[in-house]
A and B are shown apart, each in its own frame.
Chain A
Amino acid sequence: MNLIQKGIAGTLESSDILVIVNPQAGGGVQLSIQSKVEKQFGATIRRVIVEKLEALGVTDVVVDVKDQGALDCVIAARVQAAVYRAAGVDKVNYEVLS
């Protein structure tokens, strides 16, 4: 998926996560995580984000997240929404999300 602009999804409310993605041509995936549960779940949050980016075919992106204790399914949804918004694509391809 080709990112053409900044994409933001999520909130700073408890149990949510704010995800901001920015395209960076040829720069690979650069990930920055702020989380109140980073010590316990930082690796899991990172894994979920990377998996979802790979599934969507996003290879060159800067991702900043502020996690408020979101479950994996919420992290996944916010990453996907931010990417779709950054790509300017409205129609979701659920085949690649599964």
Chain B
Amino acid sequence: MLSNSYIYLPDSVMFDLEDAVSIAEKDTARLLVYNTLKAKIYGDIETVVRINGVDTPFWEADLEMAVRGGAEVIRLPKTENVNEVKELEIKIGKIEKECGREFGSTKIITAIESASGVVNAVGIAACSSRMVAIALAGFDYLVDMQTERSSGTEPELFFARATVLHAARAAKIDAFDVAYGNVNDEEGFMREVNIAKNLGFNGKSLIHPRQIELLHKAYQPTQPELDHARKVIEAAKTAEEKGLGVVSLNGKMIDPPVIQAAQRVILLADYS
């Protein structure tokens, strides 16, 4: 999987050094990821490395490898507060300088996995120019909240989803919903995808290749949506050329928020 997951055409591939790697194999996992990153077999697919948390003895060695290896993004698990991100940011900058990598080129995604993390999410999302996204991780969060996953509308995750999403939007970064662990439950996965999409998440963290196409399809605009978006952009362009402040399409006013929504539809279609 390490050396061939690009064939499934994910938007990003995340190499895990945390929970998926036993303590006895942390050293070999780092070298596997380092050599894979250096081999540049992932082309345009974004490379992310999930390091161990800052409360472990492993995270600094993980980070040293990931930044030197050229990972585009570092995912910090179990982020509880701003100080942890600040500590990570300083360490990344130091390694970038030491290895001659462009300062600021290593980005950060924080994963929120606890009540503290959710409460501090607004500050976390906005505390570093390296932050490109904030993700909610459901398993640890629900344990911390002393509850468990339900089916249906998942009320147990609603506050966390809403909070993390607002933190992301206020900081102008992306937000990613929880991973869905039962890879054989397509119906449950799609139910959760729709919840996340309707709330406004940019996507989900995935743990199996078969989930990639399902997620892409769910976020892919329908042809009528795409046709309408193109008409909106065309109408806005015409209005601008004629010096008109406002224009209407099929009797509905086309204003900046409508244009932004249309641009997003076209962007999603390009990526789907």
Contact = CB atoms under 8 A, between A and B. Distances in A.
Contacts, number: 59
A65 interface: no
A76 interface: yes
Contact of A85 (B2, B27, B61, B64): B27
B39 A73 contact: yes
Nearest to B3: A71
B99 A73 contact: no
A98 B39 contact: no
| Interface SS majority for chain A | helix
Interface stretch (B30-38, B48-56, B109-117, B251-259): B30-38
B31 A80 contact: yes
Contact of A92 (B32, B41, B65, B99): B65
Given A15-B3, A15-B4, A94-B68, A73 B36 contact: yes
Contacts of B41: 71, 73
Contacts of A94: 34, 64-65, 68-69, 99
A25 interface: no
B38 A98 contact: yes
Given A94-B99, A98-B38, A77 B4 contact: no
A72 interface: yes
Task: State the main secondary structure of chain B at its contact with A.
Answer: helix
Contacts of A91: 61
B28 A81 contact: yes
Assign chain A's interface to a size class. Answer: 20 to 34
Contact of B30 (A72, A76, A92): A92
Interface string A67-87: 000111110111011001100
Contacts of B27: 81, 84-85, 90, 92
A42 to B, nearest CB: 19
A25 to B, nearest CB: 25
Interface in A51-72: 70-72
Contact of B35 (A76, A84, A90): A76
B28 A73 contact: no
Contacts of A84: 27, 31
Nearest to B99: A94
B22 to A, nearest CB: 12
Nearest to B4: A15
- Chain B CB within 10 A, most for which of A84, A90, A91, A94: A94
16 contacts: A15-B3, A70-B3, A71-B39, A73-B36, A73-B38, A74-B32, A77-B31, A77-B32, A81-B32, A84-B27, A92-B27, A92-B30, A92-B34, A94-B34, A94-B68, A94-B69
